[in-house]
Amino acid sequence: MDSKASYDGNIQATDPGMAELGIGLVPPVHQTQKPVQLFFVWCAANIGILGVVYGAVIVSFGLSFWQAILAAVAGVASFALVGITSIAGKIGRTTTLTLSRVIFGKRGNIAPTSFCWVNLMGWEAVNIITGTLTLVALFAAMGFEESLTTTALSLFLFGGLTVLVSVLGQNAVLMMQKWITRIFGAMTLLVVIYLFFTADWQAILALPSGSWLTGFLPAVSIIAAGTGISWAIAGADYSRDQRPDSGEKPIFLAVVSGAALPLLLLMLTGILLTAQIPDLASSENPISAIGKLLPSWMAIPYLAAATAGVVTIAVLSLYSASLNLLSMGIKLQQRSAVALDAVLVLGIALYVLFVSKGFLGPFIAFLIFCGVFLAAWAAIFMVDFYRLRRRAGYPEADLFRESGANRTALGCWIVGALAGLMVSKTGFIDGPFAVGIFADSSLGLFVSFILSLALYLAFGMRKGACRDNQR
Protein backbone atom coordinates (compact mmCIF):
# COMPACT_ATOMS: atom_id res chain seq x y z
CA MET A 1 0.00 0.00 0.00
CA ASP A 2 2.42 2.56 -1.10
CA SER A 3 -0.20 5.13 -1.69
CA LYS A 4 -1.61 5.50 1.74
CA ALA A 5 -2.71 8.75 0.51
CA SER A 6 -5.59 9.96 2.49
CA TYR A 7 -8.31 7.90 3.79
CA ASP A 8 -10.39 10.71 5.25
CA GLY A 9 -12.57 10.95 2.23
CA ASN A 10 -10.15 13.05 0.23
CA ILE A 11 -11.68 11.76 -2.93
CA GLN A 12 -14.72 13.73 -1.90
CA ALA A 13 -12.82 16.92 -1.13
CA THR A 14 -13.89 18.58 -4.37
CA ASP A 15 -17.15 19.23 -2.58
CA PRO A 16 -16.62 21.83 0.19
CA GLY A 17 -19.54 20.38 2.10
CA MET A 18 -17.95 16.95 2.18
CA ALA A 19 -14.59 18.38 3.15
CA GLU A 20 -16.14 20.00 6.23
CA LEU A 21 -17.86 16.85 7.45
CA GLY A 22 -14.88 15.33 9.23
CA ILE A 23 -16.19 12.13 10.81
CA GLY A 24 -19.82 13.28 10.74
CA LEU A 25 -22.50 11.30 8.92
CA VAL A 26 -22.76 12.03 5.21
CA PRO A 27 -26.14 13.72 4.63
CA PRO A 28 -28.45 12.26 1.96
CA VAL A 29 -27.77 15.21 -0.37
CA HIS A 30 -24.13 14.06 -0.64
CA GLN A 31 -24.89 10.38 -1.23
CA THR A 32 -24.43 10.62 -4.99
CA GLN A 33 -21.50 8.36 -5.86
CA LYS A 34 -21.79 5.12 -7.83
CA PRO A 35 -19.78 1.90 -7.28
CA VAL A 36 -17.91 2.33 -10.58
CA GLN A 37 -16.29 5.47 -9.15
CA LEU A 38 -14.78 3.36 -6.39
CA PHE A 39 -12.98 1.35 -9.06
CA PHE A 40 -11.07 4.43 -10.21
CA VAL A 41 -10.47 5.60 -6.63
CA TRP A 42 -8.80 2.35 -5.65
CA CYS A 43 -6.98 2.04 -8.95
CA ALA A 44 -5.41 5.47 -8.40
CA ALA A 45 -4.64 4.68 -4.78
CA ASN A 46 -2.58 1.60 -5.66
CA ILE A 47 -0.49 2.77 -8.60
CA GLY A 48 2.94 3.50 -7.17
CA ILE A 49 6.57 2.46 -7.53
CA LEU A 50 6.46 0.47 -4.29
CA GLY A 51 4.30 -2.13 -6.03
CA VAL A 52 7.36 -3.05 -8.10
CA VAL A 53 9.34 -3.60 -4.91
CA TYR A 54 6.58 -5.91 -3.64
CA GLY A 55 7.22 -8.13 -6.65
CA ALA A 56 10.91 -8.30 -5.74
CA VAL A 57 10.03 -9.15 -2.14
CA ILE A 58 7.90 -12.10 -3.30
CA VAL A 59 10.71 -13.62 -5.36
CA SER A 60 13.15 -13.14 -2.44
CA PHE A 61 11.30 -15.91 -0.60
CA GLY A 62 12.84 -18.38 -3.03
CA LEU A 63 9.74 -18.97 -5.14
CA SER A 64 9.43 -20.04 -8.76
CA PHE A 65 7.89 -17.72 -11.33
CA TRP A 66 4.45 -19.31 -11.12
CA GLN A 67 4.57 -19.50 -7.33
CA ALA A 68 5.43 -15.79 -7.26
CA ILE A 69 2.48 -14.96 -9.53
CA LEU A 70 0.15 -17.02 -7.35
CA ALA A 71 1.50 -15.36 -4.18
CA ALA A 72 0.86 -11.94 -5.70
CA VAL A 73 -2.74 -12.87 -6.54
CA ALA A 74 -3.34 -14.42 -3.11
CA GLY A 75 -1.83 -11.42 -1.30
CA VAL A 76 -3.88 -8.91 -3.25
CA ALA A 77 -7.01 -10.99 -2.51
CA SER A 78 -6.74 -9.45 0.98
CA PHE A 79 -8.53 -6.47 -0.54
CA ALA A 80 -11.69 -8.45 0.14
CA LEU A 81 -11.40 -6.96 3.64
CA VAL A 82 -11.45 -3.48 2.11
CA GLY A 83 -14.49 -4.49 0.09
CA ILE A 84 -16.26 -5.38 3.35
CA THR A 85 -15.37 -2.12 5.11
CA SER A 86 -16.46 -0.26 1.98
CA ILE A 87 -19.91 -1.87 2.17
CA ALA A 88 -20.00 -0.93 5.85
CA GLY A 89 -19.18 2.67 4.90
CA LYS A 90 -22.13 2.85 2.53
CA ILE A 91 -24.41 1.58 5.33
CA GLY A 92 -22.93 3.64 8.18
CA ARG A 93 -22.16 6.85 6.20
CA THR A 94 -19.03 7.70 8.18
CA THR A 95 -15.35 6.77 8.39
CA THR A 96 -14.12 3.27 9.14
CA LEU A 97 -12.59 4.03 12.50
CA THR A 98 -15.74 5.86 13.58
CA LEU A 99 -17.77 2.75 12.69
CA SER A 100 -15.33 0.83 14.86
CA ARG A 101 -16.77 2.65 17.90
CA VAL A 102 -19.89 0.46 17.88
CA ILE A 103 -17.63 -2.57 18.45
CA PHE A 104 -15.10 -1.30 20.97
CA GLY A 105 -17.06 1.55 22.57
CA LYS A 106 -16.07 5.19 22.11
CA ARG A 107 -13.37 5.10 24.79
CA GLY A 108 -12.35 1.55 23.97
CA ASN A 109 -11.94 2.51 20.33
CA ILE A 110 -9.10 4.84 21.29
CA ALA A 111 -6.72 1.86 21.54
CA PRO A 112 -7.09 0.48 17.98
CA THR A 113 -7.46 3.99 16.55
CA SER A 114 -4.24 5.08 18.26
CA PHE A 115 -2.47 2.15 16.72
CA CYS A 116 -3.95 3.01 13.33
CA TRP A 117 -2.56 6.52 13.73
CA VAL A 118 0.89 5.06 14.41
CA ASN A 119 0.43 2.84 11.36
CA LEU A 120 -0.52 5.83 9.24
CA MET A 121 2.55 7.73 10.37
CA GLY A 122 4.68 4.73 9.47
CA TRP A 123 3.20 4.78 5.98
CA GLU A 124 3.82 8.51 5.71
CA ALA A 125 7.47 7.77 6.52
CA VAL A 126 7.45 5.03 3.86
CA ASN A 127 6.16 7.63 1.37
CA ILE A 128 8.97 10.05 2.25
CA ILE A 129 11.62 7.31 2.08
CA THR A 130 10.24 5.90 -1.18
CA GLY A 131 10.13 9.38 -2.71
CA THR A 132 13.71 10.09 -1.65
CA LEU A 133 14.99 6.75 -3.01
CA THR A 134 13.08 7.28 -6.26
CA LEU A 135 14.67 10.72 -6.66
CA VAL A 136 18.10 9.18 -5.96
CA ALA A 137 17.36 6.59 -8.66
CA LEU A 138 16.33 9.37 -11.06
CA PHE A 139 19.63 11.20 -10.47
CA ALA A 140 21.52 7.92 -11.00
CA ALA A 141 19.69 7.34 -14.29
CA MET A 142 20.80 10.85 -15.32
CA GLY A 143 24.43 9.96 -14.64
CA PHE A 144 24.96 11.23 -11.08
CA GLU A 145 26.84 9.06 -8.59
CA GLU A 146 24.90 7.60 -5.67
CA SER A 147 26.22 8.80 -2.31
CA LEU A 148 25.12 10.04 1.08
CA THR A 149 25.27 13.56 -0.34
CA THR A 150 22.93 12.60 -3.17
CA THR A 151 20.56 10.95 -0.68
CA ALA A 152 20.59 14.02 1.59
CA LEU A 153 19.98 16.31 -1.38
CA SER A 154 17.14 14.07 -2.60
CA LEU A 155 15.51 14.10 0.85
CA PHE A 156 15.78 17.90 0.95
CA LEU A 157 14.36 18.28 -2.56
CA PHE A 158 11.57 15.77 -2.00
CA GLY A 159 10.60 17.46 1.27
CA GLY A 160 10.65 20.83 -0.46
CA LEU A 161 8.50 19.54 -3.32
CA THR A 162 6.03 18.12 -0.80
CA VAL A 163 5.74 21.46 1.02
CA LEU A 164 5.47 23.37 -2.28
CA VAL A 165 2.73 21.14 -3.65
CA SER A 166 0.82 21.22 -0.34
CA VAL A 167 0.54 25.02 -0.68
CA LEU A 168 -1.50 24.49 -3.85
CA GLY A 169 -4.38 23.09 -1.83
CA GLN A 170 -6.02 19.71 -1.58
CA ASN A 171 -8.21 20.01 -4.66
CA ALA A 172 -5.25 20.94 -6.86
CA VAL A 173 -3.25 18.01 -5.47
CA LEU A 174 -6.09 15.62 -6.24
CA MET A 175 -6.24 16.89 -9.82
CA MET A 176 -2.45 16.47 -10.15
CA GLN A 177 -2.65 12.96 -8.77
CA LYS A 178 -5.35 12.09 -11.30
CA TRP A 179 -3.11 12.94 -14.26
CA ILE A 180 0.12 11.60 -12.72
CA THR A 181 -1.63 8.31 -12.03
CA ARG A 182 -2.64 8.00 -15.67
CA ILE A 183 0.86 8.83 -16.92
CA PHE A 184 2.60 6.49 -14.48
CA GLY A 185 0.12 3.70 -15.20
CA ALA A 186 0.68 4.00 -18.95
CA MET A 187 4.45 4.03 -18.48
CA THR A 188 4.30 0.99 -16.18
CA LEU A 189 2.43 -0.87 -18.90
CA LEU A 190 5.18 0.16 -21.34
CA VAL A 191 7.86 -1.13 -18.93
CA VAL A 192 6.05 -4.47 -18.57
CA ILE A 193 5.84 -4.85 -22.36
CA TYR A 194 9.56 -4.02 -22.64
CA LEU A 195 10.45 -6.58 -19.97
CA PHE A 196 8.30 -9.23 -21.61
CA PHE A 197 10.28 -8.92 -24.81
CA THR A 198 13.72 -8.56 -23.21
CA ALA A 199 13.44 -11.01 -20.31
CA ASP A 200 15.33 -14.29 -20.26
CA TRP A 201 12.25 -16.48 -20.12
CA GLN A 202 14.28 -19.67 -20.05
CA ALA A 203 15.94 -18.55 -16.83
CA ILE A 204 12.71 -17.19 -15.40
CA LEU A 205 10.74 -20.38 -15.96
CA ALA A 206 13.67 -22.46 -14.69
CA LEU A 207 13.56 -20.85 -11.23
CA PRO A 208 13.23 -23.69 -8.69
CA SER A 209 10.06 -24.00 -6.62
CA GLY A 210 10.24 -22.92 -3.01
CA SER A 211 8.53 -24.22 0.10
CA TRP A 212 4.79 -23.65 0.15
CA LEU A 213 4.81 -23.44 3.95
CA THR A 214 7.92 -21.40 4.71
CA GLY A 215 8.20 -19.51 1.43
CA PHE A 216 4.85 -19.09 -0.28
CA LEU A 217 2.66 -18.39 2.77
CA PRO A 218 5.06 -15.82 4.32
CA ALA A 219 5.25 -14.04 0.95
CA VAL A 220 1.45 -13.93 0.79
CA SER A 221 1.23 -12.53 4.32
CA ILE A 222 3.77 -9.76 3.57
CA ILE A 223 1.84 -8.65 0.49
CA ALA A 224 -1.47 -8.87 2.36
CA ALA A 225 -0.04 -6.80 5.23
CA GLY A 226 1.11 -4.08 2.84
CA THR A 227 -2.04 -4.00 0.74
CA GLY A 228 -5.51 -5.15 1.79
CA ILE A 229 -4.91 -5.41 5.53
CA SER A 230 -3.33 -1.96 5.73
CA TRP A 231 -6.08 -0.47 3.61
CA ALA A 232 -8.91 -2.16 5.58
CA ILE A 233 -9.03 0.79 8.00
CA ALA A 234 -9.80 3.09 5.06
CA GLY A 235 -12.57 1.37 3.09
CA ALA A 236 -15.54 3.22 4.54
CA ASP A 237 -13.79 6.58 4.19
CA TYR A 238 -14.11 6.37 0.42
CA SER A 239 -17.54 4.75 0.21
CA ARG A 240 -19.54 6.68 2.78
CA ASP A 241 -21.09 8.89 0.10
CA GLN A 242 -22.35 6.01 -2.05
CA ARG A 243 -25.92 6.21 -3.29
CA PRO A 244 -28.45 4.40 -1.04
CA ASP A 245 -29.33 2.06 -3.91
CA SER A 246 -25.70 1.03 -4.53
CA GLY A 247 -25.54 -2.76 -4.24
CA GLU A 248 -23.12 -4.61 -1.98
CA LYS A 249 -21.78 -6.79 -4.79
CA PRO A 250 -20.99 -3.87 -7.17
CA ILE A 251 -19.23 -2.01 -4.35
CA PHE A 252 -17.20 -5.07 -3.39
CA LEU A 253 -16.19 -5.88 -6.98
CA ALA A 254 -15.32 -2.26 -7.78
CA VAL A 255 -13.03 -1.97 -4.77
CA VAL A 256 -11.25 -5.32 -5.17
CA SER A 257 -10.80 -5.12 -8.95
CA GLY A 258 -9.77 -1.45 -8.86
CA ALA A 259 -7.00 -2.20 -6.37
CA ALA A 260 -5.96 -5.56 -7.81
CA LEU A 261 -5.36 -4.57 -11.45
CA PRO A 262 -2.60 -1.95 -10.92
CA LEU A 263 -1.01 -3.87 -8.06
CA LEU A 264 -0.74 -7.11 -10.05
CA LEU A 265 0.72 -5.23 -13.01
CA LEU A 266 3.32 -3.55 -10.80
CA MET A 267 4.21 -6.75 -8.96
CA LEU A 268 4.59 -8.57 -12.27
CA THR A 269 7.09 -5.85 -13.20
CA GLY A 270 9.01 -6.50 -9.98
CA ILE A 271 8.98 -10.28 -10.52
CA LEU A 272 10.36 -9.92 -14.06
CA LEU A 273 13.00 -7.44 -12.91
CA THR A 274 14.12 -9.72 -10.09
CA ALA A 275 14.67 -12.54 -12.54
CA GLN A 276 17.36 -10.32 -14.10
CA ILE A 277 18.56 -8.78 -10.82
CA PRO A 278 18.43 -11.65 -8.29
CA ASP A 279 19.53 -9.47 -5.37
CA LEU A 280 17.01 -6.71 -6.12
CA ALA A 281 15.07 -7.22 -2.90
CA SER A 282 18.23 -6.97 -0.77
CA SER A 283 19.58 -3.86 -2.52
CA GLU A 284 20.15 -0.79 -0.38
CA ASN A 285 18.06 1.10 -2.92
CA PRO A 286 15.97 -1.38 -4.95
CA ILE A 287 14.38 1.46 -6.92
CA SER A 288 17.79 2.57 -8.16
CA ALA A 289 18.51 -0.99 -9.28
CA ILE A 290 15.31 -0.87 -11.32
CA GLY A 291 16.43 2.31 -13.02
CA LYS A 292 19.79 0.82 -13.96
CA LEU A 293 18.19 -2.13 -15.75
CA LEU A 294 15.97 -0.01 -17.98
CA PRO A 295 17.36 2.07 -20.87
CA SER A 296 17.79 5.73 -19.90
CA TRP A 297 15.10 6.91 -22.36
CA MET A 298 12.62 4.79 -20.39
CA ALA A 299 14.08 4.99 -16.89
CA ILE A 300 14.25 8.81 -16.62
CA PRO A 301 10.60 9.63 -17.49
CA TYR A 302 9.40 6.54 -15.57
CA LEU A 303 11.22 7.54 -12.38
CA ALA A 304 10.25 11.20 -12.81
CA ALA A 305 6.57 10.23 -13.02
CA ALA A 306 7.01 7.91 -10.03
CA THR A 307 8.58 10.73 -7.97
CA ALA A 308 5.74 13.12 -8.84
CA GLY A 309 3.23 10.46 -7.84
CA VAL A 310 4.85 9.90 -4.45
CA VAL A 311 4.88 13.68 -3.82
CA THR A 312 1.10 13.90 -4.20
CA ILE A 313 0.68 10.78 -2.07
CA ALA A 314 2.85 12.29 0.70
CA VAL A 315 0.86 15.54 0.64
CA LEU A 316 -2.48 13.77 0.89
CA SER A 317 -1.13 11.60 3.72
CA LEU A 318 -0.33 14.69 5.75
CA TYR A 319 -3.88 15.98 5.24
CA SER A 320 -5.32 12.78 6.72
CA ALA A 321 -3.48 13.08 10.01
CA SER A 322 -6.22 14.94 11.82
CA LEU A 323 -8.98 12.44 11.07
CA ASN A 324 -7.61 9.66 13.27
CA LEU A 325 -7.19 12.15 16.09
CA LEU A 326 -10.82 13.22 15.66
CA SER A 327 -11.91 9.58 15.85
CA MET A 328 -10.04 9.33 19.16
CA GLY A 329 -11.80 12.46 20.42
CA ILE A 330 -8.61 14.56 20.29
CA LYS A 331 -9.27 17.99 18.79
CA LEU A 332 -6.28 19.60 17.21
CA GLN A 333 -6.08 22.17 14.47
CA GLN A 334 -5.11 20.51 11.21
CA ARG A 335 -1.98 22.67 11.04
CA SER A 336 -0.80 21.39 14.42
CA ALA A 337 -1.57 17.76 13.53
CA VAL A 338 0.32 18.07 10.25
CA ALA A 339 3.32 19.69 12.00
CA LEU A 340 3.43 16.90 14.59
CA ASP A 341 3.19 14.31 11.85
CA ALA A 342 5.94 15.94 9.81
CA VAL A 343 8.44 15.97 12.68
CA LEU A 344 7.88 12.32 13.58
CA VAL A 345 7.91 11.16 9.96
CA LEU A 346 11.12 13.03 9.20
CA GLY A 347 12.79 11.39 12.19
CA ILE A 348 11.87 7.92 10.93
CA ALA A 349 13.04 8.76 7.41
CA LEU A 350 16.41 10.04 8.65
CA TYR A 351 16.95 6.83 10.63
CA VAL A 352 16.16 4.51 7.71
CA LEU A 353 18.11 6.49 5.13
CA PHE A 354 21.23 7.33 7.10
CA VAL A 355 21.45 4.96 10.08
CA SER A 356 20.05 1.61 9.00
CA LYS A 357 21.06 2.32 5.36
CA GLY A 358 18.64 -0.24 4.12
CA PHE A 359 15.02 0.14 3.12
CA LEU A 360 13.48 -3.30 2.78
CA GLY A 361 14.59 -4.69 6.15
CA PRO A 362 12.87 -1.97 8.24
CA PHE A 363 9.97 -1.90 5.77
CA ILE A 364 9.19 -5.61 6.11
CA ALA A 365 9.58 -5.37 9.90
CA PHE A 366 7.09 -2.48 9.87
CA LEU A 367 4.61 -4.48 7.76
CA ILE A 368 4.81 -7.52 10.05
CA PHE A 369 4.51 -5.52 13.27
CA CYS A 370 1.56 -3.43 12.09
CA GLY A 371 0.03 -6.34 10.22
CA VAL A 372 -0.68 -8.48 13.29
CA PHE A 373 -2.60 -5.64 14.99
CA LEU A 374 -4.49 -4.60 11.88
CA ALA A 375 -5.33 -8.20 10.95
CA ALA A 376 -6.78 -8.79 14.43
CA TRP A 377 -8.86 -5.60 14.15
CA ALA A 378 -10.08 -6.55 10.64
CA ALA A 379 -11.18 -9.99 11.85
CA ILE A 380 -13.28 -8.48 14.64
CA PHE A 381 -14.77 -5.81 12.36
CA MET A 382 -15.72 -8.49 9.81
CA VAL A 383 -17.45 -10.69 12.39
CA ASP A 384 -19.37 -7.73 13.81
CA PHE A 385 -20.43 -6.61 10.35
CA TYR A 386 -21.76 -9.94 9.15
CA ARG A 387 -23.33 -10.97 12.47
CA LEU A 388 -24.95 -7.63 13.32
CA ARG A 389 -24.40 -4.48 11.26
CA ARG A 390 -25.22 -5.81 7.80
CA ARG A 391 -28.85 -6.10 8.89
CA ALA A 392 -29.13 -3.71 11.84
CA GLY A 393 -26.90 -0.95 10.46
CA TYR A 394 -24.93 1.61 12.49
CA PRO A 395 -27.30 3.75 14.60
CA GLU A 396 -26.08 7.34 14.92
CA ALA A 397 -26.55 7.26 18.66
CA ASP A 398 -24.15 4.31 18.97
CA LEU A 399 -21.54 6.05 16.82
CA PHE A 400 -21.36 9.37 18.62
CA ARG A 401 -22.67 8.90 22.16
CA GLU A 402 -20.26 8.81 25.06
CA SER A 403 -19.57 5.17 25.88
CA GLY A 404 -16.97 3.13 27.68
CA ALA A 405 -14.98 0.19 26.45
CA ASN A 406 -16.16 -3.17 25.20
CA ARG A 407 -13.68 -5.20 27.19
CA THR A 408 -14.54 -8.40 25.33
CA ALA A 409 -13.76 -6.89 21.92
CA LEU A 410 -10.58 -5.27 23.19
CA GLY A 411 -9.50 -8.55 24.77
CA CYS A 412 -10.05 -10.47 21.52
CA TRP A 413 -8.06 -7.84 19.62
CA ILE A 414 -5.14 -7.71 22.06
CA VAL A 415 -4.90 -11.49 22.54
CA GLY A 416 -4.94 -12.09 18.79
CA ALA A 417 -2.34 -9.41 18.09
CA LEU A 418 -0.02 -10.52 20.89
CA ALA A 419 -0.28 -14.15 19.77
CA GLY A 420 0.75 -13.02 16.30
CA LEU A 421 3.72 -11.12 17.71
CA MET A 422 4.80 -14.12 19.77
CA VAL A 423 5.41 -16.13 16.60
CA SER A 424 6.80 -13.28 14.48
CA LYS A 425 10.22 -11.87 13.86
CA THR A 426 10.03 -8.17 13.13
CA GLY A 427 13.67 -7.29 13.53
CA PHE A 428 12.99 -5.13 16.56
CA ILE A 429 10.54 -7.49 18.29
CA ASP A 430 11.39 -11.18 18.02
CA GLY A 431 8.69 -13.42 19.43
CA PRO A 432 9.82 -16.20 21.78
CA PHE A 433 7.88 -18.78 19.75
CA ALA A 434 9.20 -17.71 16.35
CA VAL A 435 10.80 -21.10 15.80
CA GLY A 436 10.21 -24.00 13.44
CA ILE A 437 7.83 -22.98 10.65
CA PHE A 438 7.56 -19.53 12.26
CA ALA A 439 11.30 -18.86 12.16
CA ASP A 440 12.17 -16.09 9.73
CA SER A 441 8.58 -15.93 8.48
CA SER A 442 5.59 -13.66 8.75
CA LEU A 443 2.98 -16.27 9.51
CA GLY A 444 2.05 -14.44 12.71
CA LEU A 445 -0.31 -12.37 10.59
CA PHE A 446 -2.46 -15.43 9.92
CA VAL A 447 -2.31 -16.41 13.60
CA SER A 448 -3.57 -13.01 14.76
CA PHE A 449 -6.38 -12.90 12.20
CA ILE A 450 -7.64 -16.45 12.81
CA LEU A 451 -7.36 -16.27 16.61
CA SER A 452 -9.13 -12.89 16.94
CA LEU A 453 -11.85 -14.05 14.55
CA ALA A 454 -12.40 -17.28 16.50
CA LEU A 455 -12.37 -15.54 19.89
CA TYR A 456 -14.84 -12.85 18.84
CA LEU A 457 -17.13 -15.41 17.23
CA ALA A 458 -17.09 -17.38 20.48
CA PHE A 459 -17.37 -14.57 23.01
CA GLY A 460 -18.05 -11.26 21.26
CA MET A 461 -21.65 -11.87 20.21
CA ARG A 462 -22.92 -12.66 23.71
CA LYS A 463 -25.48 -10.19 25.06
CA GLY A 464 -23.34 -9.32 28.03
CA ALA A 465 -20.33 -8.64 25.88
CA CYS A 466 -22.38 -6.47 23.51
CA ARG A 467 -23.46 -4.33 26.48
CA ASP A 468 -19.90 -3.88 27.74
CA ASN A 469 -19.39 -0.81 25.59
CA GLN A 470 -22.11 1.05 27.41
CA ARG A 471 -20.14 1.19 30.61
Q: What is the mean pLDDT of the chain?
A: 84
Reported confidence tier of residue 335, pLDDT bands at 50, 70, 90: low
Between 323 and 448, name the one with better pLDDT: 448
Average pLDDT over residues 212-220: 91
Asked if the model's pLDDT at residue 104 lies above 70, the reply is: yes
Residue 463: its pLDDT value, please? Answer: 52
Residue 71: its pLDDT value, please? Answer: 96
- C-beta of residue 381 within 8 angstroms of C-beta of residue 92: no
Reported confidence tier of residue 214, pLDDT bands at 50, 70, 90: confident
Query: In this predicted model, what pLDDT tens digit does every residue of 116-143 receive, in sequence order?
Result: 888 888 888 888 899 999 999 999 999 8
- C-beta of residue 133 within 8 angstroms of C-beta of residue 287: yes
Reported confidence tier of residue 220, pLDDT bands at 50, 70, 90: very high
For residues 19 and 465, give the distance between their C-alpha atoms in angstroms, rounded to a whole number: 36
Between 258 and 167, name the one with better pLDDT: 258
For residues 165 and 314, give the distance between their C-alpha atoms in angstroms, rounded to a whole number: 10
Query: In this predicted model, what pLDDT tens digit does every residue of 70-94 receive, in sequence order?
Result: 999 999 999 999 999 999 999 999 8
CATH of 10-371, one of 1.20.1260.60, 1.10.4160.10, 3.40.50.720, 3.30.360.10: 1.10.4160.10
Q: SS3 breakdown of the chain: % helix, strand, coil, rounded to 5?
A: 75, 0, 25
Between 255 and 165, name the one with better pLDDT: 255
Residue 327: its pLDDT value, please? Answer: 59
Asked if the model's pLDDT at residue 15 lies above 50, the reply is: no
Q: Kindly provide the b/e burial profile for residues 299-313, where b requires at least 16 CB atoms within 10 angstroms of the residue's own CB.
A: bbbbbbbbbbbbbbb
Between 406 and 30, name the one with better pLDDT: 406
- C-beta of residue 184 within 8 angstroms of C-beta of residue 306: yes
Asked if the model's pLDDT at residue 345 lies above 90, the reply is: no
Query: In this predicted model, what pLDDT tens digit does every residue of 195-206 receive, in sequence order?
Result: 888 888 888 888
Provide the percentage of residues in the chain whose pLDDT is more than 90: 35
Cα angle for residues 257, 261, 264 (degrees, 5° grid): 130
Neighbours of 298 (CB within 10 A): 16
Give pTM, 2 decimals.
Answer: 0.87
Asked if the model's pLDDT at residue 253 lies above 90, the reply is: yes
For residues 9 and 23, give the distance between their C-alpha atoms in angstroms, rounded to a whole number: 9
Average pLDDT over residues 246-265: 94
Reported confidence tier of residue 328, pLDDT bands at 50, 70, 90: low
Instruction: Show me where the domains of the chain are located.
Output: 10-371
For residues 145 and 23, give the distance between their C-alpha atoms in angstroms, rounded to a whole number: 47
Asked if the model's pLDDT at residue 238 lies above 50, the reply is: yes
Residue 12: its pLDDT value, please? Answer: 39
